[in-house]
Copies of this chain bind each other. A is one copy, B any other.
Amino acid sequence: MDGTSPNKLKVAYLGPMASYSHQAALACFDNEEYLLEAQSQIKDAFAAVQAANGSDFAVVPFENSTYGTVVFTLDQFVDQESKYPDLLVCGELYLPVHHCLVGHASKRRSANLSQEHVWDDDNQMQANCNPKRSSTLMKGLQHVSMIYSHPAAFGQCEQFLSLYLKGVRKQEVSSTSRAAEMVAEEGPGSRSAAISSSLAADIHGLQLLAESIQDQDDNSTRFFVLKNGKSNPRGLAPSPRQPSNTNGDKWKTLVSFTLPQQPSGTLAEVLQIFKNHGLNLTSINSRPSLEHTWHYVFLIEVQGRRDEADGGAMNQALKELDTKTKGWKWLGSWRDRSPT
C-alpha cells in the first residue's frame, strides 16, 4: 500500500496479503496504478465498494472448479438486508489454483519411511495417485502433526491428505494465507503445516513441503470484480494483464430473482424467457430468501449484456421478468473471460 498516492483508485480484496484473491487482484490491477487494500471478510469487500468514499473496485471469489460456489459471496449478492443497493459485477477472472503444503522442514530424515512413499531431498518424487493430478513431494512429511487451512482448500486436497497425511489433525482457519502466517508464528520447531499458495510461503518465510497437492490439476477459482454502479455506472474491470484465450468478445450478466409462493412451474418459465431471446444460461444457484421458510432467491448467469443505450435482447428479457417473478435485480454485465 502507498499512503503517498491519494489519487490512486482503490481496490478491496479478500485478504490477508498473499491470499488467492490478492493474486487475482494483482492480475487485473497494477500495483503501481491502484491501491490494493486487504479486507478480512467477503462482506467487508462488498461494504467497501458500497460505502461513499470507499473502494472503487473489489475482488471476491465466486466459485472454485472443484469445490463449487462460495456461499458467503452468494449470500452477499442475495443481500437480504439491502446493504449493497448499488453494487454491480463489472468483471471476472479465472485464476489457476495450485495449493502447496508449506511449513518447516524436519531437521532429520525419518527412519520410518514406507516403501510406497520413498522420497529424497535431491530427487523429487512424483506422486501419481490420480490421473488428473501429479503432486510433487519436496520434503519429508513425517513430522507434520497439525495442518491449518481454509475449509475449501481442505476440500480441494482430499486425495493428497488421505494418501500422505491420513489421521493428522486439521484446524480450519479463515484463509490459506492466514494458515501460512500461523505456521510461521509458531517458529522453526513447529510440527504444523499449512495448505496455501507458494506466494504465501515466500511472504511468511516458509518452505514448500509439497507442491501442486490439489485433487485436480486444472483446479481454478473464478473471481468477480465489483464496482459501485451509482458512482461508476459505466466502469468495467481492466483486462487481465496476461490474458489467455477467452470469450472476451462475449458478455455475461448476473440476475437475482424470487418467485411467488405458489410457483406453478415458474422457474422453468423464467429460464425460458432468456432462451426465447436466444440468451444462454451459464449458471444457476439458489439460497434461502429468509422471507418465508423454504422460499429461495435464485441467482443466474446468462450470456449477454444489459445496455441502457439499446433495446437489445437482454434488456427485453429483463423487462419480461416482471411478469413471472415476485421481484428481480440486475447485478451487472461484464466481459466473459472463461477459458475457451
A interface residues, Cβ below 8 angstroms from B: 64-68, 71, 151, 172, 216, 218-220, 222, 263-265, 267-269, 271-272, 274-275, 280-288, 290, 293-294, 296, 298, 338-339
A-B contact pairs, 17 of them (CB 8 A): A65-B293, A65-B294, A67-B288, A68-B71, A68-B287, A68-B288, A172-B172, A220-B293, A263-B281, A264-B280, A265-B275, A267-B284, A268-B268, A268-B271, A268-B274, A284-B286, A294-B339
Chain B nearest CB: distance from A243 CB in Å?
17
| A281–B264 CA distance with the chains assembled, in angstroms | 8
Candidates B263, B267, B280; contact of A265 at CB < 8 Å: B280
> Can you tell how many copies of this chain the complex includes?
2
Query: Chain A interface mostly helix, strand, loop or mixed?
Result: mixed
Contact A293 B71 (CB under 8 A): no
Candidates B67, B294, B298; contact of A338 at CB < 8 Å: B294
| A290–B156 CA distance with the chains assembled, in angstroms | 11
Candidates B272, B280, B293; contact of A218 at CB < 8 Å: B293
Chain B residues with CB below 8 A from A216, complex form: 290, 293
| A113–B138 CA distance with the chains assembled, in angstroms | 55
* Additional pairs, 11, CB under 8 Å, beyond known A265-B281, A283-B286: A65-B288, A67-B288, A68-B286, A68-B287, A151-B151, A216-B293, A263-B281, A265-B280, A268-B275, A269-B275, A271-B271
Chain B residues with CB below 8 A from A151, complex form: 151
| A216–B288 CA distance with the chains assembled, in angstroms | 12
Residue of B nearest to A69 (CB): B286
Interface centre among A71, A269, A275 (most CB of B within 10 A): A275
Chain B nearest CB: distance from A113 CB in Å?
29
| A281–B280 CA distance with the chains assembled, in angstroms | 20
| A305–B285 CA distance with the chains assembled, in angstroms | 25
Chain B nearest CB: distance from A150 CB in Å?
12
Chain B nearest CB: distance from A40 CB in Å?
14
Chain B nearest CB: distance from A272 CB in Å?
6
Chain B residues with CB below 8 A from A172, complex form: 172
Q: Which 6 A-B pairs rank lowest in CB-CB distance, beginning with the nearest?
A: A268-B271, A268-B275, A65-B293, A218-B293, A265-B275, A265-B280
Chain B residues with CB below 8 A from A65, complex form: 288, 293-294
Chain B nearest CB: distance from A300 CB in Å?
10
Residue of B nearest to A292 (CB): B218
